Structure 1
Amino acid sequence: MNWQKKLRAQPVLYWCARNMSFWSSISFNLAVLMNLLVAFFYPFRGVRGGTLEPHWSGLLWTAMLVSLAIVVALPKPHGVRALIASTILRLIFSVGLQPTLFLLGAFNVCNKIIFLMSFVGNCGTFTRGYRAMVLDVEFLYHLLYLLICAMGLFVHEFFYSLLLFDLVYREETLLNVIKSVTRNGRSIILTAVLALILVYLFSIVGYLFFKDDFILEVDRLPNDTALPDAGESLASEFLHSDVCRGETGENCSPTAPQEELPPAEETEQDQEHTCETLLMCIVTVLSHGLRSGGGVGDVLRKPSKEEPLFAARVIYDLLFFFMVIIIVLNLIFGVIIDTFADLRSEKQKKEEILKTTCFICGLERDKFDNKTVTFEEHIQEEHNMWHYLCFIVLVKVKDSTEYTGPESYVAEMIKERNLDWFPRMRAMSLVSSDSEGEQNELRNLQEKLESTMKLVTNLSGQLSELKDQMTEQRKQKQRIGLLGHPPHMNVNPQQPA
């Protein structure tokens, strides 16, 4: 927070830091453009400055002016792209392709320096000490990117091709492709070691029993191989320094004229035994066996059925095909594919959680069904995560002597790294709606209780009247018994209504 306050006090650095994503996009687009120019026009022989016809030159100038007018009047991205494209084409045909590529590379280096300034401005890398700066992998990555840009500018244009790997850094899908190999790297390495062990065993068997079957066709280079033309390759001077030069006779030795060989001898010269030593057997089985669809049997000599080791050779080829090609290699591919599928499901699960779960309280979308507040209103108004972030920033930058009660409590919880002050699985809208429901239930219960009390009162009154009637009947019976009336003079008491 303190670094951000210092950053705002420096207008230039703050402006660079605000547009960090813009500088990153410019670097990537320049890298793609420079690689397209190198791929289509290297070694820069076809296009030179001033070779454009007059009407095409006028058309380019017109396109530049029109796109510039569009950018000035309506600064839209498409107009900016048209202006940049027309300007680059104008430079190519005015000063040449190589100077234009040099200018683009210099601009890319300057842009990457500005990007590094913005990165440092956002992250405060230099304020955390040299140890944190060295251990910051992202900072080191951008520093390496700048170094490659400088090497492409001052050493050779082919270094620009390494800048295209920035696409892996920018796209999460490609990062998952890399992680699918590195996450289960131990399993893949152990499976590869098993494959090497099997290749070693099959090489020993081939060296012992099928040594004469390791005959491969080769394409030999001619004796008078000449160097490529100048400018064709940077490494040509190193790769071909001891090769015969046809024009000057340098490094050439007098050779006797070769006699024409009969076809049989030419066929023999186009074949080589590649299992003279065990090491060559291992190299042949490893190189040709793993790259062939049917295993090592596809590159070895085809045996005749009359040979004594024909059955053993068939078993050898089939075992290599099933054990190495089908089982081991497919195990490696299966581990990679399963890991990539797991990474994709994890990504989809995270996206689903972010869409259907509140970041602050953790309540899911279905909790807000048939409520007065929808889930979208809840995450935008009640539990907006940026509001919580702004509150945390306020607590950090505010003087502790000016804290209110809630701010003091939250500051103490933040200091202890305690998140109990977050409303976990609670929301004011749900509490209010629940309380309203409870009040309605209480009101209904109270009305039912009142009606029940009225009914009980009525029943109590009727019960009292019945009790009085029963008491009166007993009294009458007692009076009749005391007077001694004869039985035929006994009068039935009045029945209660």
Structure 2
Amino acid sequence: MHEFYFSNKLFVSTCQAPGTLEPHWSGLLWTAMLISLAIVIALPKPHGIRALIASTILRLIFSVGLQPTLFLLGAFNVCNKIIFLMSFVGNCGTFTRGYRAMVLDVEFLYHLLYLVICAMGLFVHEFFYSLLLFDLVYREETLLNVIKSVTRNGRSIILTAVLALILVYLFSIVGYLFFKDDFILEVDRLPNETAVPETGESLASEFLFSDVCRVESGENCSSPAPREELVPAEETEQDKEHTCETLLMCIVTVLSHGLRSGGGVGDVLRKPSKEEPLFAARVIYDLLFFFMVIIIVLNLIFGVIIDTFADLRSEKQKKEEILKTTCFICGLERDKFDNKTVTFEEHIKEEHNMWHYLCFIVLVKVKDSTEYTGPESYVAEMIKERNLDWFPRMRAMSLVSSDSEGEQNELRNLQEKLESTMKLVTNLSGQLSELKDQMTEQRKQKQRIGLLGHPPHMNVNPQQPA
């Protein structure tokens, strides 16, 4: 009697309407909605908005049911995606660039596919919404690097896979010619009698709603369903069959079982006896497949993927380090602001805030050219030419004001050094002029001595006869 009462109570509780909810849980949901709404109104931050959306969805599920809530969310998602796609096309000018540019625009095709999946989930079946989980890969850079680790060196991976297929093909030929009788695998055959669902019912509906009481089918839902006695199923007999009767079956067996086995194709074939004539050849066959395919080729593919992922991760870390230690606008590093009146964080948030520059660029683009000021005209011309010279490269106003005294001291030191150098040059010039005068005087004296020692009328060639 107690078992019947408990089972009847459980059956009635499971057949309640979707809108019924216990009072304290309902009050808790309403309280969460009101608190999150107050937080959003007072402090509009993403966390408060997410809490409000989550509490609203839960309230709708218990108020109107799961399927109507899912339909409302799907309709809202489709409308939101249509608006987003229209704004995306308008901002990027996809339709104005022609059909070829529209087809080759990967981002546009991605958002279009997203819209199609949302529409199919709304009008065809709710299971299509599960495909939208892949959007997490598109939004998360770490998961995107996992995909890029395969696609960046895709040519190397494909060529290595082709090499693996060639080796599998060659080993399949050898196995078909010499070891055909060794390809004996255990198989589990299906039982002869299989349950076939009635006409108009799918296997999925039978799996999901096999225990649900159907009123429209004439079943009595007031009394609990009788429990069927469990009949122990007979153990399934395992049979063996040859899987290398043709070359195609050999290729399929080696490709399927050989690559998935840790020790190669030798783990799934028949264990030969040492007295067989082809025992040594079979050992060499198994070892060659293990070393060439399992160890070398597969590890080559894994190594290419792992190395590419490591390179992408190091590039990501390097970019993050540059963004943390270098100003995006001026390019000055963090150590330039050590022992200064302005810290690096204050510099990138107040002086050179990248979003301020972006807002200024948008202002220049949307503003009427007849209302430009002088700097705005200059920047607009630079933007048209794609010239970034208007950015303050390696300069900052805070560093100019703090370094003025140091520059004055350096100029003073340079001036003193210049004056001392000028004095030294003047002394050297005087000494050089004195030395020049002395050399001139010595040359004149030598000329006088030469004239006195050899008069012109006595300069006769001594070899001529008198």
Shared fold, TM over 0.5: yes
The farther-off stretch of 205-214 and 70-79 is: 70-79
Change (3 A) 1:44 1:416: farther
Any idea what the Cα deviations from partners look like across 1:101-138, whole Å, max 9, x if unmatched?
43443343334334435545655655666655444322
Distance 2:86 2:6 in 1: 19
The farther-off stretch of 279-288 and 243-252 is: 243-252
Change (3 A) 1:486 1:382: same
Change (3 A) 1:310 1:74: same
2:425: which partner in 1?
Answer: 456
Q: Which runs of 5+ in 1 are unaligned?
A: 1-26
Change (3 A) 1:238 1:411: same
The farther-off stretch of 199-208 and 67-76 is: 67-76
Secondary structure in 2 aligned to 1:161?
helix
Change (3 A) 1:211 1:391: same
Change (3 A) 1:375 1:264: closer
Change (3 A) 1:48 1:142: farther
Q: Is the 8 A contact 2:326 2:333 kept in 1?
A: yes
Deviation at 1:421, TM superposition (A): 3.6
Distance 1:134 1:167 in 2: 24
The farther-off stretch of 114-123 and 330-339 is: 114-123
Distance 2:354 2:55 in 1: 45
Any idea what the Cα deviations from partners look like across 1:32-90, whole Å, max 9, x if unmatched?
xxx999xxxx9999775477678877887787788778888998877766666566556
Distance 1:28 1:482 in 2: 153
1:88: which partner in 2?
Answer: 57
Change (3 A) 1:77 1:187: closer
Change (3 A) 1:489 1:322: closer
The farther-off stretch of 359-368 and 131-140 is: 131-140
Q: Is the 8 A contact 1:274 1:281 kept in 2?
A: yes
The farther-off stretch of 292-301 and 378-387 is: 378-387
Secondary structure in 1 aligned to 2:236?
helix
Change (3 A) 1:473 1:333: closer
Deviation at 1:457, TM superposition (A): 16
Percent identical pairs in the alignment equals 94
Deviation at 1:382, TM superposition (A): 4.2
Q: Is the 8 A contact 1:372 1:429 kept in 2?
A: yes
Deviation at 1:494, TM superposition (A): 66
Secondary structure in 1 aligned to 2:14?
coil
Count residues with an aligned counterpart: 464
Deviation at 1:262, TM superposition (A): 23
Deviation at 1:214, TM superposition (A): 0.5
The farther-off stretch of 188-197 and 402-411 is: 402-411
Q: Is the 8 A contact 2:172 2:247 kept in 1?
A: yes
Deviation at 1:313, TM superposition (A): 1.1
Change (3 A) 1:141 1:251: farther
The farther-off stretch of 229-238 and 400-409 is: 229-238
Distance 2:221 2:361 in 1: 78
Any idea what the Cα deviations from partners look like across 1:307-328, whole Å, max 9, x if unmatched?
1111111111111111111111
Distance 1:179 1:29 in 2: 60
Secondary structure in 2 aligned to 1:255?
coil
Deviation at 1:301, TM superposition (A): 0.8
Any idea what the Cα deviations from partners look like across 1:267-290, whole Å, max 9, x if unmatched?
997111000000000000000111
Q: Is the 8 A contact 2:78 2:119 kept in 1?
A: yes
Deviation at 1:353, TM superposition (A): 1.2
Deviation at 1:198, TM superposition (A): 0.6
Deviation at 1:169, TM superposition (A): 1.3
Q: Is the 8 A contact 1:225 1:243 kept in 2?
A: no
2:455: which partner in 1?
Answer: 486
Any idea what the Cα deviations from partners look like across 1:202-259, whole Å, max 9, x if unmatched?
1011111110110111111122212247897477999999999999999999999999
The farther-off stretch of 42-51 and 99-108 is: 42-51
Distance 2:4 2:381 in 1: 45
The farther-off stretch of 101-110 and 58-67 is: 58-67
Change (3 A) 1:140 1:439: same
2:23 to 49, 54, 64: 54
Deviation at 1:493, TM superposition (A): 60
The farther-off stretch of 305-314 and 432-441 is: 432-441
Distance 2:109 2:433 in 1: 97
Change (3 A) 1:145 1:398: closer
Distance 1:469 1:258 in 2: 134
Change (3 A) 1:193 1:102: same
Any idea what the Cα deviations from partners look like across 1:423-459, whole Å, max 9, x if unmatched?
4334455555555334224445778999999999999
Change (3 A) 1:416 1:301: same
Q: Is the 8 A contact 1:213 1:301 kept in 2?
A: yes
Q: Is the 8 A contact 1:242 1:251 kept in 2?
A: no
Change (3 A) 1:469 1:287: closer
Distance 1:179 1:94 in 2: 44
Any idea what the Cα deviations from partners look like across 1:355-381, whole Å, max 9, x if unmatched?
222223323222333445443344344
Q: Is the 8 A contact 2:172 2:251 kept in 1?
A: yes
The farther-off stretch of 361-370 and 91-100 is: 91-100
Distance 2:450 2:147 in 1: 113
Secondary structure in 1 aligned to 2:340?
coil
Distance 2:262 2:216 in 1: 44
Distance 2:151 2:308 in 1: 9
Change (3 A) 1:230 1:349: farther
Q: Is the 8 A contact 1:203 1:281 kept in 2?
A: yes
Change (3 A) 1:252 1:275: farther
Distance 2:79 2:227 in 1: 59
1:184: which partner in 2?
Answer: 153
The farther-off stretch of 170-179 and 423-432 is: 423-432
Deviation at 1:139, TM superposition (A): 2.7
Any idea what the Cα deviations from partners look like across 1:372-415, whole Å, max 9, x if unmatched?
54433443444443444444445545555666665554444333
2:205: which partner in 1?
Answer: 236
The farther-off stretch of 435-444 and 310-319 is: 435-444
Distance 2:352 2:153 in 1: 39
Deviation at 1:145, TM superposition (A): 1.4
1:134 to 96, 100, 103: 103
Distance 1:199 1:252 in 2: 59
The farther-off stretch of 228-237 and 392-401 is: 228-237
Change (3 A) 1:372 1:277: same
Deviation at 1:194, TM superposition (A): 0.6
Task: Name the TM-score, length of structure 2 as normaliser.
Answer: 0.69
1:204: which partner in 2?
Answer: 173
The farther-off stretch of 285-294 and 73-82 is: 73-82
Task: Name the TM-score, length of structure 1 as normaliser.
Answer: 0.65
Q: Is the 8 A contact 1:112 1:146 kept in 2?
A: yes
Distance 1:28 1:325 in 2: 60
Change (3 A) 1:251 1:282: farther
Q: Is the 8 A contact 2:197 2:203 kept in 1?
A: no
Q: Is the 8 A contact 2:327 2:348 kept in 1?
A: yes
Q: Which runs of 5+ in 2 are unaligned?
A: none
Secondary structure in 2 aligned to 1:487?
coil
